[in-house]
């Protein structure tokens, strides 16, 4: 167990070197190296008191533990308990889901129902910040922003994009221009 755990841990550290050397990300295997290394250390009476060090010897496990608070925050911020409104729109093979969460977090998911055998995007999803400015909804994805205007003529609350994200608008399939998004779910804030 010690040897196998040590080899996996070594490979995880080599992935860091490869990432630095090639400027391309190389994945690690979390938990496995630390579990095997720790179990091997636990089986030997002389190393048993130090078995907990295996977590720090395996880069994959160490990175996972350091990322857990951020992952937990992301899962909580986009959980259904924090959902305020969900807007849905459909045009052709594309369905768009815009979900607004507490603390100004939004998710934008686009799904494409393509015929069997047809190539192309099936789904894309983004997460960013939102805010209201009068009857306008402003979405921010990094340095890009999109503006949605309320549509007063619809029976249900609806939005339509007046200015889009450049990365979406430069791709015909991802563009939200001209699509109406109607509220499907509402929860009081």
Mean pLDDT, the chain, rounded, equals 89
Residue 28 in tokens:
């690690």
- Other beta carbons within 10 angstroms of residue 149's beta carbon come to 15
The pTM for the full model equals 0.73
Q: Name the residue ranges covered by the structural domains of the chain.
A: 2-77, 80-186
- Reduce the DSSP state of residue 139 to 3 states and report it: strand
188: pLDDT confidence band, cut at 50, 70 and 90?
low
How many angstroms separate the CA atoms of 24 and 98, rounded?
A: 32
Contact 149, 175 (CB under 8 A): no
39: pLDDT confidence band, cut at 50, 70 and 90?
very high
Side-chain half-sphere exposure of 20, counting CA atoms within 13 A: 6
How many angstroms separate the CA atoms of 93 and 70, rounded?
A: 34
Looking at the domain 80-186, which fold is it? Lipocalin (2.40.128)
Is the alpha carbon torsion for 113, 116, 119, 124 positive or negative? positive
Percentage of residues of the chain with pLDDT beyond 90: 61
pLDDT at 189 over 60: no
Percentage of residues of the chain with pLDDT beyond 70: 96
Enumerate long-range contacts of 64-67, CB under 8 Å, 24 or more apart. Answer: 64/30, 64/31
| ∠ CA 175-81-109, rounded to 5° | 15
Dihedral of CA atoms 122, 73, 17, 40 in degrees, nearest 10, equals -110
């Amino acid at each position: 167990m010690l040897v196998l755990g040590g080899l996996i841990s070594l490979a995880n550290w080599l992935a860091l070197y490869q990432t630095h050397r090639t400027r391309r990300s190389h994945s690690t295997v979390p938990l496995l190296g630390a579990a095997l290394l720790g179990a091997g250390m636990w089986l030997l009476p002389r190393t048993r008191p130090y078995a907990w060090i295996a977590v720090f010897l395996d880069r994959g496990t160490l990175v996972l533990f350091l990322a857990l608070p951020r992952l937990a925050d992301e899962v909580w911020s986009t959980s259904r308990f924090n959902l305020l409104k969900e807007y849905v729109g459909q045009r052709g093979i594309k369905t768009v889901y815009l979900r607004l969460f507490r603390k100004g977090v939004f998710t934008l998911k686009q799904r494409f129902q393509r015929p069997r055998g047809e190539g192309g995007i099936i789904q894309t999803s983004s997460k960013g910040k939102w805010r209201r400015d009068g009857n306008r909804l402003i979405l921010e994805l990094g340095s890009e922003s999109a503006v949605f205007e309320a549509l007063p003529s619809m029976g249900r609350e609806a939005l339509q994009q007046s200015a889009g994200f450049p990365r979406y608008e430069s791709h015909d399939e991802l563009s939200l221009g001209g699509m109406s998004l109607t509220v499907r779910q509402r929860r009081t804030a």
